[in-house]
Structure 1
Amino acid sequence: MHKKKILFIDRDGTIIEECPRTHQIDSIEKVHFLPKVIFFLSKIYKELEFELVMVSNQDGLGTSKFPEQTFWPIHDHIINIMKSEGIQFFSVHIDQTFQHEKKSTRKPGIGMLTSYLTKKYDIEKSFVIGDRFTDILLAYNLGCKSIWIKKDGNRKNEEYFYNGKNLKNIISLITDQWNEIYEYLRFNCSGQSFLQRKTYETNVKINLSVYGYGKNDIKTDIGFFDHLLKQISIHSSMNMNIETIGDLYVDEHHTIEDTAITLGKVFCNSLGNKRGINRYGFFILPMDDCVSTVALDLSGRSDLIWNVEFFREKIGNVPTEMFYHFFKSFSLNAKCNLYIKALGNNEHHKIESIFKCFARSIKMAVKKITFNKISSSKGLL
């Protein structure tokens, strides 16, 4: 089962500016959204696999000090503005008590949020986003991480501690910029996976971030193969760390095959249920005297149509027969259909253009184009 990740988001000081004197947003004039929060929260909602849950303390709501009729119209106005920009909250939890009442429903208590502590949700990969230290404590009590919205960007060491507990590891990011929150979640929390595949012939470790920026560290001890794998990372924008220790004293076969198997598996794992992705990718790429065409479908099924001919036994230290085998192994384990065709005279250019074209097709296929939908009439990929 694909577990859901949650962003537990505070309201005042996080989505809208605090009202310093009264700490009550009880009129339209007091509603001021944080800079770019709507734009980047919309991108988070549409592109990343998080459910949004609002959690807010509203001191004494419903009492004479803060009548409900002055709160709900303003709150609904805020929610409707975000809805108009495509931002949907799965649920909204408002605690109406005072701090001195010490209710379990008041942040940092988790009394309102116990329904999320089930196997349906991946709490460890969820976040609390808020501007107060109580939001950090809420993350600690829930067992997730936190993003601290803090305008000065600084904090004293003593703020890490609460009742003797060091909360430093709870805080993943400190910022008052929503673009930085989006970038952090995109690069560190979406489309990430690690896999180690160990056999008597090879030991392969791959750390993959599908939505990265092309950072890579590739070590297979096959120079030209490393070069081609780097092309995948650079041209797909995926971050890839690959370490393969293989029985090269035998030959290159097991190292290349098992790297492809592991890369296919970790790529498939990174996409999760493939909700929201484009699914299809296709590209034509010229390189000097060569031109390559790649089309792929992340369909959940595997097939490879290979229309490429080589006239050398090896390129660098890679047998040319292994290129077909690499893509066949990837297709089987990534559960995708692949069509690959290349024309040209220079064999080095030919295979390099194939790998670059393959990478560009991946970049198109994994792009998030919608939210909460699967690009299939079956409802499953």
Structure 2
Amino acid sequence: MTNYPLTELPEAHAPGTGRTAEIRRNTEETEVSVRIQLQGSGQARVHTGVGFFDHMLEQFARHALVDLDIDAEGDLHVDAHHTVEDVGITLGQAVHQALGNKKGVRRFAHAYVPLDEALSRVVIDLSGRPGLAMDAEFTCPSVGGFDTQLVYEFFQGFVNHALVTLHVDNLKGRNAHHQIETIFKAFGRAFRDAVAIDARSPEHVPSTKGTL
């Protein structure tokens, strides 16, 4: 496992080198390690100390078809904010590393996912620019002790360090558990399509600039 400071990441590599990354991020508030295999089978081992959050990350891995290994120890005696945010940051760093130079990726993708009365849409661009637009009004402030405000903090940390553009919209929903679960499942499905190698253009970066 490699320990990188917040602003120091390894040089990008081509997808052919395995599309796997391992990152460890330690601060005064949290210790987080993430291992991701982009071309996985949806297996997840997640331990953050925040049960509902673990469940959502498992949903992401299953629907993204990535293999994901996350361990986090944080100052949960304060609240879950630092843990959730720092997992987002570290996962973003790992995704950035695993994507390498983004040669051959599809880049753009979107997904709509329903769960009973709830419906969410996630649109992603592996743009090389961090950006989050999120519209979700959750119907209660917590689910299983998880502060619903932290959904935004997770995605903000992720996009800032994965360097992706992400639009997250909960379109319908009465049950906050359902609302959040549809968001994470849609995130997984969109991510899966965006990072997939385009069989029609496997040797090119999908940008007129030649880089992302």
Q: With structure 2 as the length reference, what TM-score do the two structures score?
A: 0.91
RMSD: 1.1
Q: How does 1:143-158 map to 2 (within 5 A)?
A: none
Q: How does 1:128-167 map to 2 (within 5 A)?
A: none
In 2: Cα distance, 1:294 partner to 1:261 partner: 19
In 1: Cα distance, 2:59 partner to 2:98 partner: 19
1:279 is aligned to 2:107: yes
Q: Tell me the equivalent position of 1:289.
A: 117
State how many pairs are aligned.
Answer: 199
1:345 is aligned to 2:168: no
1:355 is aligned to 2:187: no
1:192 is aligned to 2:23: no
Q: How does 1:248-287 map to 2 (within 5 A)?
A: 248-287=76-115
Query: What amino acid is aligned across from residue 195 of structure 2 in structure 1?
Result: V
For structure 2, which runs of at least 5 residues remain unmatched after alignment?
1-10
Q: Which has the higher contact order (CA 8 A, sep 6+)?
A: 2
The secondary structure found in structure 2 opposite 1:241 is: strand
For structure 1, which runs of at least 5 residues remain unmatched after alignment?
5-47, 50-188
Give deviations 1:45-87, integer Å, cap 9, x for gaps: xxx52xxxxxxxxxxxxxxxxxxxxxxxxxxxxxxxxxxxxxx
In 2: Cα distance, 1:326 partner to 1:315 partner: 15
Q: Tell me the equivalent position of 1:241.
A: 69
1:329 is aligned to 2:157: yes
1:366 is aligned to 2:195: yes
Q: CA deviation at 1:311?
A: 2.5
Pick the aligned partner of 1:302 from 114, 121, 130.
Answer: 130
**Aligned CA distance change for structure 1 residues 3 and 277 (closer, same or farther; 3 Å):** closer
Q: With structure 1 as the length reference, what TM-score do the two structures score?
A: 0.51
In 2: Cα distance, 1:278 partner to 1:307 partner: 25
Q: CA deviation at 1:371?
A: 2.0
Query: What amino acid is aligned across from residue 206 of structure 2 in structure 1?
Result: S
Q: Tell me the equivalent position of 2:31.
A: 203
**Aligned CA distance change for structure 1 residues 372 and 310 (closer, same or farther; 3 Å):** same
What is the percent sequence identity of the aligned residues? 37
The secondary structure found in structure 1 opposite 2:78 is: coil
In 1: Cα distance, 2:129 partner to 2:71 partner: 27
Query: What amino acid is aligned across from residue 291 of structure 1 in structure 2?
Result: L
Give deviations 1:283-322, integer Å, cap 9, x for gaps: 1111100111100100000111111101211111210111
For the pair shown, the structure with the greater C-alpha radius of gyration is 1
In 2: Cα distance, 1:371 partner to 1:310 partner: 40
In 2: Cα distance, 1:286 partner to 1:206 partner: 28
**Aligned CA distance change for structure 1 residues 373 and 254 (closer, same or farther; 3 Å):** same
**Aligned CA distance change for structure 1 residues 212 and 3 (closer, same or farther; 3 Å):** closer
Give deviations 1:210-267, integer Å, cap 9, x for gaps: 1100111100011000000000110001000000010111111110010000001101
In 2: Cα distance, 1:324 partner to 1:379 partner: 31
Q: CA deviation at 1:2?
A: 4.1
Query: What amino acid is aligned across from residue 204 of structure 2 in structure 1?
Result: K
Query: What amino acid is aligned across from residue 84 of structure 2 in structure 1?
Result: I
The secondary structure found in structure 2 opposite 1:349 is: helix
**Aligned CA distance change for structure 1 residues 286 and 2 (closer, same or farther; 3 Å):** closer
In 2: Cα distance, 1:298 partner to 1:226 partner: 25
**Aligned CA distance change for structure 1 residues 281 and 319 (closer, same or farther; 3 Å):** same
Q: How does 1:45-84 map to 2 (within 5 A)?
A: 49=16
Give deviations 1:331-378, integer Å, cap 9, x for gaps: 111101111111211111010000000000000000100222000011
